[in-house]
Structure 1
Amino acid sequence: MQNLLNPKWLFVLNTLPLVVLALLLGAEYGVIHTLLPPDSKKLWLVLGSLLVGLGVVHAGYAGWQLKRKQPLPALYGALTLAAYIAFLYLYGYHLDHLFPREVPRWMVPGEMPLYAGTFLMPTLAHAALVILLNLTPADQPHRALPNFGVALAVPVGAYLFGQLVLPWWRVPGGQFGQHALVVLFITGTLVFLFFLARGVYILLTRKAGVWAEYQLLWKVLITLVMPVLGLLVNSGVLFRDLGAPASGIFGNFHGWWFYGLAVLNGALLCVPAPTDKWWRLALLAGRSFTLAYTLYFFLVFLPFLPLSVVAVVAVGVGFLMLTPLLLLLVHLRELSQDVEVLRTYFSRRLVIGVLIASSLLLPLGITANYLYCRQALHQALAYIYTPDYSKPTPQINANPLLYTLERVRAHKDPSASVFGSELPYLSTYFNWLVLDNLTLSEEKLQRLEQVFGSERPVYNREQFQREEPEEESRPQLTKLTSRSHYDARQAAWSSWVDLEITNPDQWGNAEYHTTLALPLGCWVQEYYLDMHGRREKGILAEKKSAMWVFAQIRNEQRDPGILYYLTGNRLALRVFPFAAREVRRTGFRVLHKEPVALQIAGQTVQLGEVAASATQPLRQSVTTSGGQVVYLSATAKQALPLVQRRPYYHFLLDASATASAKPTVYQQRIESFLQQRPGAKATARYSLVNSEITTLPAGTDWLSAWQATPATGGYYLEGAMQRLLAEAWLHPTPEYPVLVTVTGSLEWAVLPANFAALQAATPEQSTFLVLAADGSAQAHSLLQHSSQPLLPTETPAEGRAVRAWPTAEQPRAYLPDNEQPSVVLGAETFYLPPALGQTWQDGLWLQGYQLYQARNPAAAEPMRLAAIRGSFRSGILSPLTSYLALENEAQKAALLRKQNEVLAGNAALDVDDDVQRMSEPELWVLLLAVGIWGLRNWYRHQKGVALAK
């Protein structure tokens, strides 16, 4: 332990934490500085300069001591403690001015105001150890009992002071009394911890006497009994009257391996040192292995040490909070003795190598476990959200995936106690390594559990459709106008659509939301929202980031407006808030090749001049370079040959663990269905569907294959239908599939809101069928609300003729025979150009990417970031981006920060939801704040009593 006096530790425990702290606080200041009042900016500058000054002084002193080859003296420890405690006191006292009310809470990460205490705590602990080691030299005799007596006197004195003195004490007026109480609290805590640690250290260095004779007894108490008792109390097994939550008081340490490591660690530290050098080396390896366990709990409880006196006084078992500190002292002492003895038998390099290698085993094991979870999760996400239709469905190991999902859900649990998180620090590490500092939405968690789990989850299917705003809203569209201009340079129209929206009610804080269908070949390129007497241009941002920022600002009752894609060519427009009787204006610019009529909230506006285009209609197709994306106008499409394709029925058989009946129950239904349709049996095809999709070869006995298939996972109907539709799109033939689901209840099938993105696969139809008990079929829409059956009056006619492109003899795509334009992919492969411009044809490139992504998700995924950057450069809205109008620079900076986080992670992951989980550093500050708040309230109460007398 004497190595801690080496000045090099200053760089590790002081300079490095200060650099990280300065970078984090500097980045946060760069986001919120435009919202700070002048006094707060000045305070940031003063405290920042003070912090940098402390860091420079410490780094310079460390370098000077290293050059002199001198250890750190006790004076250094005393000055460091005084300086950093004073800084933390000033920082905490002015915290409300550093992060004032003018700064919305969502802009400041939950742990940001508390980073100062978190990063400076190791420096404070090191300074205290420097004092301890200098005042307790090994070559002089010391007595442990007086140190324990002084340490015990602090909580006893605090209790007696509170019971006997305070009720009669006349507290001074003003803020002096408050500051005096806080200083007294800090001083008492430091004295208590110092003399307690010094007493234990003296015991560890004793080689003779009563304490040495009973060394095994107090070692067992510190290293075995107290750690196990602490785990039992934290979990609520003992002293349930303390109200330990299900997640634990200080963290969820319920796992058996916490208890196993506690017992193993205690046994290794208590076992007598063997005389054989190889056994002593093995003992060093074992003690080094559990060092990570000891250090982990020391770091977890280090922020709570300032409250140890309060805990000892207030709660009888509060002394258990001191266990990690005492355990670390014992552990480090035993390791230092092992190293000192073994260096006489082995080389220093070997001994230190064993120490370091063994110490890393436990962290590496945890890392390997998290990487395994990451692989399972990301493999499942790729299977669900970016499948490769050119390969057979992969086999996903459900066990590690479900374990990972359970961990993710535990981190999101809003019922977790504020006095503990899932696993302090380890949860943060898990979120970083497994989830890229993002999360999984409840929708995705439930979808993954339903696909790969063996039980029927209970959930509301409508939650999968919440992204789409309702048509009903209190504010109403009262005026819709347009301004069009033909741009001869790009041979396209540019039209502004302006909306005037009125809130007719006398209630405020209303939101306007509507949806609109954007005609094919039209791209949104600009957006604006009038706010506070000025016109604010919308920012084109990554969609998930923009949606998150919009939700946060909306919760603050501020002024956001957002425009984004839903599914297919449908857009959503949302504006918030509206005061009573308020009129607001918003609008967007559209690039379009031909004149179109646009409908919004029941009103229609004409974009472009129809008369001018009628004389010269667009008869030729428009193609991007390389012929990858082709735009066919309505006139050009009418020139294509008209063909009639033959339908065949493709049955999707429920082979999941959630199936409600055996395959033989459905045999009669399928036979009855086919008998009602002459000739259908000969061409029918079958696929077995659970968490995987297995299409049976022609002529296979589907019933035998169904019965022989193990019932695993859920009825992943979404993946099966997407795969079959994509294959029909990729390989167009004179036949097209009519999908028929065969299951006991569609309620347990995994279905999306719709399959609109894959509608191009079967332009003849827009429905799929669900086989009923009597052999009849119920139609469901592929375009919207796919889980709901269509009414008989809503069922569209199927089997319509379609247009073959480019020829009927060698078709590469089939298009609906309507009077609307179409966009098709002209090649099997697709690539985005390295740089997109701002023309209509650049929008065609982005449209081509969306088509390619729908039918080739896995191949398109590597181009996702390029597509987002292309949308940014062109200013053209895409399904991956959103237009967001913000009212100040701080909101824009926060959007950019969130966007960088999202773009660095897996595209299938989500940003954190509305559930705010308290991070580890917040806990100790919360408890400290509660303690200071209690002292302050007591002070005010006593002052009131004194004045009353």
Structure 2
Amino acid sequence: MKKLLETKWIILSNTVPVIILLLLLNWDYQVFKSSLSEDSIEIWQWTWGIIIGYGIINLELGFSIHKINRGLQALLSIINMLLGIGIIFFAFYFANKIHPWSIPQWMTNNYLVLYFPTFIMPTIAYSIYALILFFTPNPEDKKAWKSFLIALAVPLICYLFVTFIIPALKNSFDDIHQYSYTLIASIAPVIFLFFLLQGFYIVIKNKSGFWQKYQLPIKIVFTLVLPIAGLITNFVITNEGFETRRPGIFGDFHHFWFYALTIINGAVLCINNPEGSIKRLALFLLRCVTFSFTLYFFLVFLPYMPLSILGIILIGLGFLTLTPIILMLLHSMTLKEDWNYLKNYFSRLRLSLYAVGSFLVIPIMVTLYFSFQRSNLMNALDYVYNPDFTESKASVWNGPLESTLTKIYQAKSNRNQLFMGYNRPYLSSYYDWLVLDNLVLSDSKIKRLNKVFFNEKTDLPQRRQPMLRPENPNVNIEKVKVDSKYDRQTKTWTSTVDLDISNSLNAGMQEYSTTFTLPDGCWISDYYLDIEGRREKGILAEKKSAFWVYTNIVNVRRDPGILYYEQGNDVSFRVFPFEGKQTRTTGMEFIHRSPVEIIIDGQKIKLGSEQVITQPVSYGSDEDNIRIVSAKEKQGLKRINREPYLHLIVDHSANSADLELAKIIKQITAQNPEWAAHSKLSLVNSSIETIDLTDSFQGSLGLLDKEGGFMLERALKKLLFDSYHNPTDRIPVFYVITDDFDNAIIENNSLSDWKFTYPGNDLFYVTNGKSTSTHNLWEGLTIPTDESNEGFYTRKLKLPTGEIRYLRDDNKDEFVLLDPYFDIDEDDLEGKTIESALLIEGLRRSEILYPEEAADNWGNLVRASFQTGIMTPVTSYIALENEAQKAALLRKQKQVLSGKKGLDAGEEPDQMSEPTWWFVGAMMILLMWYRRKRLAVKN
């Protein structure tokens, strides 16, 4: 055991944790450093110096420890331990300088100060071990019960101090609690660990024969009985019957494999060592396999060690939390005995390879299982949000998907809780990284996936989340100023719109919110917001990241402004906050190819001038993939009335009623006999099956089982996709047949981006056989309309390749994709010009048609937006108040862009979601002081 005093262990216990501590602190510091006061910056400078100096001292000690005698080693260990305690004391005493209350929780880790004890404790523990060796040179002559008794007394004494002594002394010494709580939290765990480990060291080294005589009963108790009792106790405490669970105290350990591995682990440790090298090797490898399981629970419960002794005194259950610590010692001792036996038969290298390979079995299995969950979840997300319209059925395993969605939802509920939750310590962090890219899946997406694949209608519980306010009629545009300029070289209009927005109420904290529609050929290319007397230029950022930052800032009542696309060309515009009777100035820049008019908050704003002769922009060569067909050019194209035919979309979901389908179809064809020829029928649930509508169609209905939800949105997009890619003079007219249209999985305006694929008709129909309603495909999709169809007129454009494109029969310019498989060369993007905007629009429309490609390549559209400054549906302009908010935005953006498109920014993943190392043992004392101090500063 004295080999643990070698240099490598000092490096492992100090150098590595210190480096991790510095990286984690720097991770947060780089975000909010610009918001720190001079006093806080000075404390941070001291912090960097102290930690780096502590690491250098230990590194030097590591390289010289073999040259000094045991007495000096002990002295250095005491000094090292005291320095570690001093750093922890320093961190908590200056907690409000290191992590000021003014730094909002969303911007950084709310438990930043707790990094210090987490990563300084390994060095302290190492020093404790060195001192145990020094002060216990003859363990066989010591009494273990004395050490255990002292360790047992430490939590009790802490409890008495916090409950009785400190409050009593507070009357005489006003500031005593500020020092006492910190000293107790820093020193008490060190004393506890010293005497507890010393007691075990004495028991193991004692030569009285106690261990040899009672080894098997001790192993049975600590490797089987108590671990199983702990899992059962956790189950009883956290369950309300077998179907309902509450969040666990230490985490969620309900899974079958926790019980199975506990039994297997106990069995391989208790079994007698067989004779013969091969059998002993097999047993050794099994013990190495389960050692990763033992190590996992050791790391999980190590922080609770001080509380476990207090638990013994109060309720007698402390042994259950102390058990993994003892199990770790027993498992390590058993492996060492196996090693000493087997090294006589096998080389050290061979044994080491066997041991490492066996130890990695469980981690590898966990990784493979998580990877499968990720793949299955991503397949589900892609099928719903980034579908391949050439596929009609999802490649998804429903059972594992349901389990994954439940786990993700429950884990989100407890993402910021240190003690209780549905999370599994360490495993949940690994899960978040591997499965979710450290992002989240929003509640709305969880609900939709459940409805698509399982037809579940159950609403998820409401969470406390920043909510967007509705449009406020009391905050309006008061003044508009427009400045438009035309560049003949680039054929681009650039218009700047300055807005004065006023709050008519005396009440403060009002938000301005409106939505306006951009005409085709017009894009937003810049934004600004005046904040506290200065003009803050908008940042063009990835949309999900910008929206996440905006909602968090509004939640803490600071100054942001944001512009982003909602659906189609609809742009949401928000500014916050407005004080009573306050007027604020903001503005945006547009580029457009011709004079246009936009309406913002009821204000008609004219961009450009008809008096300026603009040059037509038309990219129609073989080298270009997109062109603009002007309104004038449209009038010269052939106008045709496309021949309509019925395309029936039948609800075939799990809970759909058995309607008299033949009767309903007969009614529809009787009402529209001119549409009956060439009719088709699609059975729709989570998949879609399309057949020709013939007299024998009912024989095909059994080909698709009733399952999942009525995924109408995906079905309509697939049919629009097919219609666009197979253009003819015929046009489908959609009739949706369902007993409950509210059960259809579709959202208002969710098809607005698809308007270019289906010229000649804006309507579809919904019927249950008794009544029929008319709906607009592009606007208010789920709301009936009084519109009627007066023909299916379009303009027919023949491309140089001979292909046909159908255009809308109106007096507006229209984009035309020559090749739907669109890609752009970054060298062709030349800033804020119409040509660059056209290329970006082409890429956007290509990704609408092929969202499965966008799932992997959506970063291309983001980068093109960044390169040109032109806002797209995947980017947003946001004006922020300070550098800290900008740093937080850039960090979140980097995280989102490195993840999967279907995931969300959502809630910030908690970097300290599980308790680490030892500090939770002192948390009851520490958090009480920490929160009181921060509240005192705040008040």
Give, in angstroms, the shift of residue 129 of structure 1: 3.1
Give, in angstroms, the shift of residue 350 of structure 1: 2.6
Residue 722 of structure 2 is aligned to residue 711 of structure 1:
no
**Compared CA separation, residues 788 and 213, structure 1 to 2 (3 A):** same
Taking the aligned partners of 1:426 and 1:562, their CA distance within structure 2 comes to 37
Residue 755 of structure 2 is aligned to residue 759 of structure 1:
yes
AA partner of residue 496 (structure 1): T
Give, in angstroms, the shift of residue 87 of structure 1: 0.7
Match of 1:333?
333
Give, in angstroms, the shift of residue 133 of structure 1: 4.3
Give, in angstroms, the shift of residue 39 of structure 1: 0.7
Taking the aligned partners of 2:56 and 2:25, their CA distance within structure 1 comes to 17
Residue 883 of structure 2 is aligned to residue 889 of structure 1:
yes
* Equivalent position to 1:726, from 696, 721, 724: 721
Match of 1:568?
568
Taking the aligned partners of 1:141 and 1:656, their CA distance within structure 2 comes to 77
Taking the aligned partners of 2:866 and 2:511, their CA distance within structure 1 comes to 27
Give, in angstroms, the shift of residue 809 of structure 1: 12
2:89/2:183 contact within 8 Å kept: no
* Equivalent position to 1:820, from 809, 812, 821: 812
Match of 1:942?
none
Number of residue pairs the alignment of both structures matches: 924
Residue 657 of structure 2 is aligned to residue 665 of structure 1:
no
SS in 2 for 1:847: helix
Give, in angstroms, the shift of residue 911 of structure 1: 0.7
Taking the aligned partners of 2:915 and 2:723, their CA distance within structure 1 comes to 54
Q: TM-score, normalised by structure 1?
A: 0.91
Match of 1:873?
867
Give, in angstroms, the shift of residue 919 of structure 1: 1.4
SS in 2 for 1:920: coil
**Compared CA separation, residues 516 and 450, structure 1 to 2 (3 A):** same
Residue 194 of structure 2 is aligned to residue 194 of structure 1:
yes
Taking the aligned partners of 2:196 and 2:355, their CA distance within structure 1 comes to 28
C-alpha distance after superposition, 1:295-349 (max 9, x if no partner): 1122122233344454444543234332222221111111111111111222222
Match of 2:653?
656
Structure 1 unaligned runs (5+)?
940-949
Taking the aligned partners of 2:474 and 2:896, their CA distance within structure 1 comes to 33
Taking the aligned partners of 2:412 and 2:473, their CA distance within structure 1 comes to 31
Judge which range, 535-544 or 693-702, deviates more.
693-702
Judge which range, 182-191 or 289-298, deviates more.
182-191
**Compared CA separation, residues 41 and 801, structure 1 to 2 (3 A):** same
Give, in angstroms, the shift of residue 916 of structure 1: 7.7
**Compared CA separation, residues 708 and 913, structure 1 to 2 (3 A):** same
Match of 2:634?
637
SS in 2 for 1:402: helix
Residue 735 of structure 2 is aligned to residue 740 of structure 1:
yes
**Compared CA separation, residues 158 and 821, structure 1 to 2 (3 A):** closer
Where do 1:240-639 residues align within 5 Å? 246-413=246-413, 419-421=419-421, 422-458=423-459, 470-613=470-613, 621-623=618-620, 626-639=623-636
1:764/1:798 contact within 8 Å kept: no
2:185/2:922 contact within 8 Å kept: no
* Equivalent position to 1:773, from 769, 774, 777: 769
AA partner of residue 299 (structure 1): L
Judge which range, 441-450 or 114-123, deviates more.
114-123
1:474/1:511 contact within 8 Å kept: no
C-alpha distance after superposition, 1:732-790 (max 9, x if no partner): 1111111222222122221133211111122212222112222x532122113322222
Taking the aligned partners of 1:159 and 1:91, their CA distance within structure 2 comes to 23
Judge which range, 310-319 or 575-584, deviates more.
310-319
Match of 1:802?
794
1:647/1:799 contact within 8 Å kept: no
* Equivalent position to 2:834, from 832, 840, 846: 840
SS in 2 for 1:779: strand
**Compared CA separation, residues 269 and 619, structure 1 to 2 (3 A):** closer
AA partner of residue 838 (structure 2): L
C-alpha distance after superposition, 1:669-707 (max 9, x if no partner): 122111222143331101221211122256583322213
**Compared CA separation, residues 806 and 924, structure 1 to 2 (3 A):** farther
**Compared CA separation, residues 402 and 435, structure 1 to 2 (3 A):** same
SS in 1 for 2:567: coil
Taking the aligned partners of 1:400 and 1:708, their CA distance within structure 2 comes to 25
AA partner of residue 382 (structure 1): D
2:303/2:920 contact within 8 Å kept: no
C-alpha distance after superposition, 1:78-126 (max 9, x if no partner): 3332221221121122111111123222211334333223233333333
1:248/1:417 contact within 8 Å kept: no
Match of 1:945?
none
SS in 2 for 1:52: helix
Judge which range, 860-869 or 924-933, deviates more.
924-933
AA partner of residue 442 (structure 1): D
C-alpha distance after superposition, 1:512-547 (max 9, x if no partner): 111111111011111111111121111100000000
Match of 1:851?
845
SS in 2 for 1:340: helix
Give, in angstroms, the shift of residue 154 of structure 1: 4.0
1:477/1:499 contact within 8 Å kept: yes
Give, in angstroms, the shift of residue 417 of structure 1: 6.4
AA partner of residue 438 (structure 1): L
Taking the aligned partners of 2:284 and 2:136, their CA distance within structure 1 comes to 25
Residue 903 of structure 2 is aligned to residue 903 of structure 1:
no
SS in 2 for 1:577: strand
**Compared CA separation, residues 113 and 744, structure 1 to 2 (3 A):** farther
**Compared CA separation, residues 223 and 135, structure 1 to 2 (3 A):** farther
Taking the aligned partners of 2:485 and 2:246, their CA distance within structure 1 comes to 64
AA partner of residue 765 (structure 1): N
**Compared CA separation, residues 727 and 137, structure 1 to 2 (3 A):** farther
AA partner of residue 624 (structure 2): G
C-alpha distance after superposition, 1:485-538 (max 9, x if no partner): 111221221111121111001111000111111111011111111111121111
Judge which range, 44-53 or 65-74, deviates more.
65-74
AA partner of residue 621 (structure 1): S
Q: TM-score, normalised by structure 2?
A: 0.92
AA partner of residue 626 (structure 1): E
1:155/1:309 contact within 8 Å kept: yes
Give, in angstroms, the shift of residue 157 of structure 1: 5.9
SS in 2 for 1:612: coil
- Fraction of identical pairs, as percent: 36
Structure 2 unaligned runs (5+)?
934-939
**Compared CA separation, residues 123 and 712, structure 1 to 2 (3 A):** farther
**Compared CA separation, residues 43 and 786, structure 1 to 2 (3 A):** same
**Compared CA separation, residues 180 and 819, structure 1 to 2 (3 A):** closer
Taking the aligned partners of 1:439 and 1:295, their CA distance within structure 2 comes to 28
Give, in angstroms, the shift of residue 719 of structure 1: 1.2
**Compared CA separation, residues 74 and 812, structure 1 to 2 (3 A):** farther
Give, in angstroms, the shift of residue 382 of structure 1: 1.6
AA partner of residue 813 (structure 1): R
SS in 1 for 2:632: helix
RMSD over aligned CA atoms reads: 3.3
1:425/1:920 contact within 8 Å kept: yes
Taking the aligned partners of 1:675 and 1:440, their CA distance within structure 2 comes to 47
Give, in angstroms, the shift of residue 906 of structure 1: 0.4
Where do 1:60-99 residues align within 5 Å? 60-65=60-65, 73-99=73-99
Taking the aligned partners of 1:557 and 1:314, their CA distance within structure 2 comes to 45
Judge which range, 330-339 or 65-74, deviates more.
65-74
**Compared CA separation, residues 620 and 115, structure 1 to 2 (3 A):** closer
**Compared CA separation, residues 736 and 525, structure 1 to 2 (3 A):** same
1:832/1:863 contact within 8 Å kept: no
1:5/1:71 contact within 8 Å kept: no
AA partner of residue 447 (structure 2): Q
Give, in angstroms, the shift of residue 172 of structure 1: 6.1
